[in-house]
Structure 1
Amino acid sequence: MFAKKVVVAAVLLGLFGAAGTVQADPLTVYGKINVSAQSSDDGAGQFSELKSNASRFGVKGDYKLENDLTLIYQLEWEVDLTDDANEKNIKGRDQFIGLTGSFGTIKAGRNDTALKLSQGKMDLFNDYEADIKTLWKGENRMNNSLAYITPKFAGFSLMVSHIMEDSEKGQDGQSVALMYGDEGLKDSPLFASVSMDNDVNGYDSSRVFVQGKVAKIKLGAGLHQQEVMAGGKKEDGYLLNAAYPLDKFELKAQYQTLEDHDGYSLGTDYKLGKETKLFAWYSSFDFYNKADTDYLAIGIEHKF
């Protein structure tokens, strides 16, 4: 009996030793929780509410392969912290698998289009009521999407998205963006992009963005054009914004138009730590074909 126990122990130790030599797949768990208390006037009346502003969680990783190739993947979901726990509480965001190497990066799955990504960090009120998608078409995350991003050359990179038709009655769509510089304005003093959608989610769209720093002030400007595929109606708009850091505060202002629609936002962020901030903002929109809207919010964000 003792001999059998020794043999079993030896086998178990061998298995654990072998398991210890297996290379684990590097995996990162990440997310963001953003919740605000908000006073909303949507044109029908004023009310108060709690808003979960695109709070999310996900896992992502990379794995070294042969021939200098790296496998990359990401699975991300949006979660509504303020809603009932039901089927609408969690929904998919960017989810893909891909390969990266000296040729660039290829991704397959559900991806933000090249036009959407071309904004970099231009939208100072992203994920709030004044997100640029309030007026502009083109903020698309598409299923059945293939994306290719070139390596950077002299500060330039090209991204191409191909959206498959997914049915015999469907239509393929394309999105292309040429980008220059660093969207965080840390490695370069300027970020600029030119992008275009062809038959994506029912629209043809094009954009030009420029963002840079003058002293400590971050200034941005953008032009946008969209055309409905079915009716051929074409609309133009522009965006202007500025952000100014002041100790632990960042003061922000943004103005956006689309034909006779326009809206402006004023806000401030206060840094509580490296990954945590308090924020407050006010946004107001004037529409020519529906009731105007106004929003006032104060909230907290934490990234992990």
Structure 2
Amino acid sequence: MNRKTLIASSVAAAMAVPAAVQASDLNFDFYGSARVQVESVRPDNREHLDSYTGVRDAYSNIGFNADYPLMEGLTLIGQLELPLDLANKAVQDPWDQEQDVRVAQIGVQGEMGTLLYGQMWLPYYNAIAAPVDMFSTYYSGFATYTAFRQGDTVSYYSPDMSGLSFAFAWSEDNGDNDDNRVQLTGSYNFGDTTLAIGMDELNGNDNTRIVGVSAAHAIGNLYLAGKFERISSDDDATDGNNAVNVYAGYTLGKNTFKLMVAEVENYGESIVHVGVDHQFNPSLTFFAEYYFEQETAAITEKRGGRQQPYDSSEGTLGDVRGGQVFAAGVRFDF
């Protein structure tokens, strides 16, 4: 049994224990999201990857949340979420196609905060990268140095203390060179503004660390956000690399217009992302986006992910040197 399957089985088994005791107190919330786009991709260097038009999944998923009251002020919680790559007709993440579980976590929640174990969204991503990760296509979220989710992770989220909160995570073997990964974040929310600072310690042979800050502010229908990240490492090739993102979104009726510009050294370089969402009804959203990257970060072969080179005989990810994408799709939440 592989590690991902073990985590998922542990969550299911743990949630089944209280169910056998008193099933009426065990709450399940099932959910899912089908997201598919049609895209036209035009790499800048077409020696190893030609332009193409095709269908790609935009992070479809299905799962459930569960909770069970252990005692007054303390609740057992769990979540299992699987990726559905509809374009490839597989249970896998469309980018990391070796990943067949998105979230598999269990923990407790109470007045002292939330303690979780399993595969989960990481605190550093939640605090620093998520405020600018607002697009609907497959190309959302790439303009950051950190990982989104990891397994074998223990995390703690503090309760809100007059707007101030912090989080911590320890992730086994998920840093550089299979070293352990440690994250620490702090956030302060006042009114319609949120400020955050975070550290992502990857350790490894080069003692790599990512530090970041983010800010988000809402003014009526206008949402503004930005983040800054910097890598500190003994590796001269990555030490001092910066990632800067600025995002703006404006909602007008059923339409939300989005714009992000970013400069991510050694991972995309100059990036421009523009889009619009149309909320047809609470469950159905149509979207259209334009994405440009100066160097290769998100663009892959047709329906490919990070494991697929452009040409197995001679091409590599860096051979394409960026490009542009036009995409339009639909999202149905249930």
TM-score grouping bracket, smaller chain normalisation: 0.7 to 0.9
Matched, 1:264 2:294: no
Quote how far apart the aligned CAs of 1:171 are: 2.4
Quote how far apart the aligned CAs of 1:170 are: 4.5
SS in structure 2 at match of 1:277: strand
Q: Is the 8 A contact 2:249 2:257 kept in 1?
A: yes
- Separation in 1, partners of 2:91, 2:265: 39
Deviation readout 1:194-216 (Å, 9 max, x if unpaired):
11101168842111111112353
1:76 to 81, 85, 88: 81
- Separation in 1, partners of 2:196, 2:61: 27
Q: Which amino acid aligns with 1:246?
A: L
Structure 2's unaligned 5+ residue stretches are: 1-19, 297-317
Quote how far apart the aligned CAs of 1:180 are: 2.4
SS in structure 2 at match of 1:116: helix
Q: Which amino acid aligns with 2:168?
A: V
Question: 1:300–1:89: structure 2 CA closer, same or farther, 3 Å change rule?
Answer: farther
Matched, 1:34 2:35: yes
- Structure showing greater Rg: 1
The share of aligned pairs that are identical, in percent, is 20
Deviation readout 1:62-94 (Å, 9 max, x if unpaired):
000125310000011111111134776971011
Deviation readout 1:256-282 (Å, 9 max, x if unpaired):
112371110111011111122100000
Q: Is the 8 A contact 2:118 2:153 kept in 1?
A: yes
How many equivalent pairs are there? 277
Matched, 1:295 2:298: no
* Cross-structure match for 1:110: 119
Give the 5 Å matches for 1:222-301. 222-228=227-233, 233-234=238-239, 235-259=241-265, 261-287=269-295, 290=319, 291-301=321-331
Give the 5 Å matches for 1:171-190. 171-181=179-189, 188-190=191-193
Q: Is the 8 A contact 1:242 1:252 kept in 2?
A: yes
Q: Is the 8 A contact 1:126 1:132 kept in 2?
A: no
Matched, 1:128 2:138: yes
TM-score, reference length from structure 1: 0.82
Matched, 1:150 2:155: no
* Cross-structure match for 1:64: 69
Higher relative contact order (CA 8 A, sep 6+): 2
Q: Is the 8 A contact 2:131 2:214 kept in 1?
A: no
- Separation in 1, partners of 2:283, 2:223: 21
Q: Is the 8 A contact 2:226 2:247 kept in 1?
A: yes
* Cross-structure match for 1:221: 226
- Separation in 2, partners of 1:22, 1:173: 37
Deviation readout 1:72-129 (Å, 9 max, x if unpaired):
0001111111113477697101111101111111000112221111134422226632
- Separation in 1, partners of 2:25, 2:220: 46
- Separation in 2, partners of 1:271, 1:251: 12
SS in structure 2 at match of 1:57: strand
Matched, 1:210 2:215: yes
Give the 5 Å matches for 1:157-172. 157-165=165-173, 170-172=178-180
SS in structure 1 at match of 2:71: coil
* Cross-structure match for 2:201: 198
Quote how far apart the aligned CAs of 1:233 are: 2.3
Q: Is the 8 A contact 2:131 2:226 kept in 1?
A: no
SS in structure 1 at match of 2:125: helix
Question: 1:282–1:232: structure 2 CA closer, same or farther, 3 Å change rule?
Answer: closer
Question: 1:121–1:177: structure 2 CA closer, same or farther, 3 Å change rule?
Answer: same
